[in-house]
Amino acid sequence: MYMSEKSKQIIDACRFCWMCRHICPVGNATGQERNTSRARALGLSVVNRGAAELSPDIMDNIYECQMCEACTCDCATGWDPTYFTKEVRLQAALDGKTPDYINAIVDKVLETGNIYGAKELDADLAAAIKAHAAKEDVILFLGAEARYNVPTAAQNAIKVLEAAGVKFTVLADEPASGYALDWLIGAADETKQQMTDCAAILAGYKTVVAFDPQDAKAFVREYKEYDLKVGAIVTFTAFVAGLIKDGALKVKNTGKAVVFQDPYQLARMLEETEEPRAIVSACATLNEMLLNRKDTVWAGGSFMAIYNPLVSELVSKERWTNAINVGADTIVTASVSEYAALKATAPEGKTVLSIEELVLSAL
Amino acid sequence: MVCNEFLTDIILTELEDAVGKENCSTREIDKITHGVDFFWLSRMWADRGRRMPEADFVVSPKDATETSKVMKIANYYKIPVTTWGGGGGSQGGAIPVAGGIVLDTKRMNKIYEVNTEAMYIECGTGAIYKHIEWAANEVGKATMHYPSSLTCSTVGGFLAHRGIGVVSNKYGKIDDMVLQMEVVLPNGDIINTSATPKHAVGPDLNQIFIGSEGTLGVITKAQLRIYDQPEERRFRGFLFQDMHGAFAASRELLQKFKPSVMRLYDEAETASLIKKIVGVEKKGAFMNIAYEGVKEMVEVEEKILLETFAKYGAEDLGSEYGEKWWKEKITFFYPGHMMDLPQMFGTMDTIATYDKIEKIYWAMKNAIETKYPFAKFIAHFSHWYEWGCMMYDRFIIDGEYVPKDPTEALKLHQEVWTTGIRTAIANGGVVNDHHGVGIKLGRFVHEQYGPAMQVLEGIKKQLDPNGIMNPFKLGL
């Protein structure tokens, strides 16, 4: 299998180093040695040296990584283990070595644009979207996760912007942003094509408000890498924080005590940690749990909830433990997929709120 | 040892029954990753495209009950059991050299209790120590166990080889920090050591298992001390013209009070690592001292420190370098900052009384640099007592001098270690201070203990008559 010199260099740096073990959400949840950057690097280094094949077993391990970049963020030297992980996913796809359970998701994304293979929108959501069919300068990009997995989140996002009097467009046939393919098979032609098609549509708007941090990350990072031009990208949280600050969105503090779960895409990849806190602080009493801001830990959901649900569940439960340890009854999150995962694993008496739910409750 | 496919399958089903299918693996990736720890030889072997000895099964029990089931199976079939915590050990202690079962403890990571009245945390020994530190921090306390492997190693790993952290001078080694432990014996019995470590009910059972490197059983739970966060922690860097003055100054200082950090670097390490990471440009032996606790006492300690070190001609470098050192104390060990392949290297840490430690340093440096003129020998001294201190000495051989053939490289590695450790023992040192023995140094344990070895062998024979526990480690 082809591997770039950069990947080989990172692999050889990481293969005997465990320093980031403590912040890997998967490894901490499963307790499995293979769920470390060190293990993935060691396995691949052994393959690179001809002492093992890139077996289905080793490929499975490549897909036990959430690519959350906690390890990268923690590394004092600056090595990025997700770099080689992503490259191996791409090369495996090119060589026909992608696991079947991943190919099944890829096929769904290629056919429907979402990882669930869903073709029909929730009726209420469809109606809410229809009300914003007119072309405006601002487009609210809901993303596939909200549209097909948590449609109430999408509806609430629309309601928040409506409450602020924002004129905005929501597309009935929203294109896939490409984040899913990028995560699944890296920078394949299919990924680039999906991103190119999406960029062509979004280029017609001055401002793109990305509701889902997964999409926002793709717009800001991968689109830039592929030199795809779109309008100004603003995360939903930054946009709403601005609306509150400007007085366009008037909220009152509900007095509810909450902790905020930083989506790793926002906190680490887009370096956005204070905007969501401004929202939460305006609507509730914000406390902090262990591992916040750029040190945040993934709270489950998304891809792994489909093909490795036990891991996703364990990861979510770990995050609940962090919240409970600081006495929190409510977690607020700005990630659609983490919202779903945390909701599914909420202990009795504990609540997860999406950030848009919190805002709506504070109007 | 498993010898045929049929029996392997039978045993696999029994182990799956013990810990659950998802926690019992024969996957290649699990075998590979549990075959290489931080031991230079295992890393070199993998680097040269060789496969290390691998386990037949990797099991991850969640508690003592599941561990007991695994032990009973292993004992019945007489399968070797190698306990694996974080795999960050440098002595090959976690490598399943005889195959069989690797028992990975990391699912035993539950924090059962944070007791701020009795000042301990009770946790599974698979917990990463950093997570224990976080748990302590959440209630305003600290574990005060800060080794460079804090983020990657488990509680059990530190217990298994008597680990130590950078503030040991004030707070002690891991063996000073344990109140009570739960241990699963090789026959599957689950035992608890006494409720407190200080008593007169015979020898301390804790200390039989701490440092036993998985040869006598599996430690599954431990109560570890926690401490109040210091009101104040101050640093002071010093430069000694030579190490002799530093030893004398430090010995005198320790008769007066216990700093938390005491780290003396020889001239060679000051000119390399300390210059690179901390920025000390001057020639000499750099020493960093930290002192902490109640503010008023810290003030007094600082006065004593400055007066004592001034008597021995130490140049006061102020607090800047010490603070930088504290901030970067773990950075030293990240790839790119540490020695790495193709270099050959090793840390021959030893400990001795003050009347011997300096002599050991020079004897080892001389022995290694004379016999292997292509080797560098550097050292720092990082854990100090009223009676002596430990030496963290390293040899480094650049890649151009390391044989390309892995077997020849292995032989050279063994030779250098033999030279160093025998010199340490001959001059009054011990085989190791805090990295343990593993397979790397097992051959020297008999040399150090002589007839006293029968005590360890007797315990081993009684507890593990089938010899299944971590074979070929610790010289047992």
* Domain residue spans of chain B: 5-104, 111-228, 232-333, 344-461
Question: What CATH number should be reported for the domain whose range is B5-104?
Answer: 3.30.43.10
Query: Across the interface, which of B128, B331, B337 has its CB nearest the CB of A21?
Result: B128
| CB B168, CB B150: distance < 8 Å | no
E-state strands within chain A: 138-141, 168-169, 207-210, 232-235, 257-261, 285-287, 330-333, 351-354
Query: Across the interface, which of A19, A39, A46 has its CB nearest the CB of B151?
Result: A19
Q: Of A315, A333, A347, whose CA–CA distance to A23 is shortest?
A: A315
Residues of chain A neighbouring B84 (CB-CB closer than 8 A): 33
pLDDT tens across the length of chain A (363 residues): 899 999 999 999 999 999 999 999 999 999 999 999 999 999 999 999 999 999 999 999 999 999 999 999 999 999 999 999 999 999 999 999 999 999 999 999 999 999 999 999 999 999 999 999 999 999 999 999 999 999 999 999 999 999 999 999 999 999 999 999 999 999 999 999 999 999 999 999 999 999 999 999 999 999 999 999 999 999 999 999 999 999 999 999 999 999 999 999 999 999 999 999 999 999 999 999 999 999 999 999 999 999 999 999 999 999 999 999 999 999 999 999 999 999 999 999 999 999 999 999 999
- Position B338 scores a pLDDT of 84
Domains A123-241 and A250-361 share a fold: yes
Number of inter-chain CB pairs under 8 A, A vs B: 121
Tell me if A42 and B60 make a contact (CB, 8 A cut-off): no
A295 touches chain B (CB under 8 A): no
Residues of chain A neighbouring B131 (CB-CB closer than 8 A): 22, 28
Tell me if B49 and A326 make a contact (CB, 8 A cut-off): no
The rounded distance, in Å, linking the Cα atoms of B283 and B270 is 7
A56 touches chain B (CB under 8 A): no
A59 touches chain B (CB under 8 A): no
The rounded distance, in Å, linking the Cα atoms of A44 and A82 is 13
> How close is the nearest chain B Cα to the Cα of A260, in Å?
17
Residues of chain A neighbouring B337 (CB-CB closer than 8 A): 76-77
Tell me if B29 and A61 make a contact (CB, 8 A cut-off): yes
Residues of chain A neighbouring B30 (CB-CB closer than 8 A): 32-34
A306 touches chain B (CB under 8 A): no
A42 touches chain B (CB under 8 A): yes
Question: What CATH number should be reported for the domain whose range is A123-241?
Answer: 3.40.50
A88 touches chain B (CB under 8 A): no
- Position B1 scores a pLDDT of 54
Query: Across the interface, which of B106, B336, B337 has its CB nearest the CB of A31?
Result: B106
Query: Across the interface, which of A20, A36, A42 has its CB nearest the CB of B36?
Result: A42
Which two three-digit tokens encode residue B252?
Answer: 């005198």
Query: Across the interface, which of A31, A39, A325 has its CB nearest the CB of B29?
Result: A39
**Residue matched to tokens 């610790």:** B474
Domains B5-104 and B111-228 share a fold: no
Is CATH 3.40.50.300 correct for B111-228?
no
A179: exposed, middle or buried (Cβ count in 10 Å: 0-12, 13-18, 19+): buried
pLDDT tens across the length of chain B (476 residues): 557 899 999 999 999 999 999 999 999 999 999 999 999 999 999 999 999 999 999 999 999 999 999 999 999 999 999 999 999 999 999 999 999 999 999 999 999 999 999 999 999 999 999 999 999 999 999 999 999 999 999 999 999 999 999 999 999 999 999 999 999 999 999 999 999 999 999 999 999 999 999 999 999 999 999 999 999 999 999 999 989 999 999 999 999 999 999 999 999 999 988 898 889 999 999 999 999 999 999 999 999 999 999 999 999 999 999 999 999 888 888 888 889 999 999 999 999 999 999 999 999 999 999 999 999 999 999 999 999 999 999 999 999 999 999 999 999 999 999 999 999 999 999 999 999 999 999 999 999 999 999 999 999 999 999 999 999 999 99
The rounded distance, in Å, linking the Cα atoms of A346 and B67 is 30
Q: Classify strands A168-169 and B227-228 as parallel, antiparallel or unpaired.
A: unpaired
Interface of A with B in 115-134 (CB under 8 A): none
Kindly identify which residue of chain B lies nearest to residue A310, measuring between CA atoms.
B22
Residues of chain B neighbouring A17 (CB-CB closer than 8 A): 334-335
- Position B2 scores a pLDDT of 52
- Position B3 scores a pLDDT of 73
| CB B261, CB B293: distance < 8 Å | no
Is CATH 3.40.1190.20 correct for B344-461?
no
Backbone angles phi, psi at A341, to 5 degrees: -70, -45
| CB A66, CB A298: distance < 8 Å | yes
Give the DSSP letter string of B107-130: T---EEEEETTTTEEEEETTSBHH
- Position A49 scores a pLDDT of 97
Q: Where exactly are the structural domains of chain A?
A: 5-97, 123-241, 250-361
Tell me if B336 and A15 make a contact (CB, 8 A cut-off): no
Q: Where are the alpha helices (DSSP H) in A133-264?
A: 144-148, 151-163, 179-185, 189-202, 213-217, 223-225, 236-246, 264
Residues of chain B neighbouring A79 (CB-CB closer than 8 A): 335-336
Is CATH 1.10.3720.10 correct for A250-361?
no
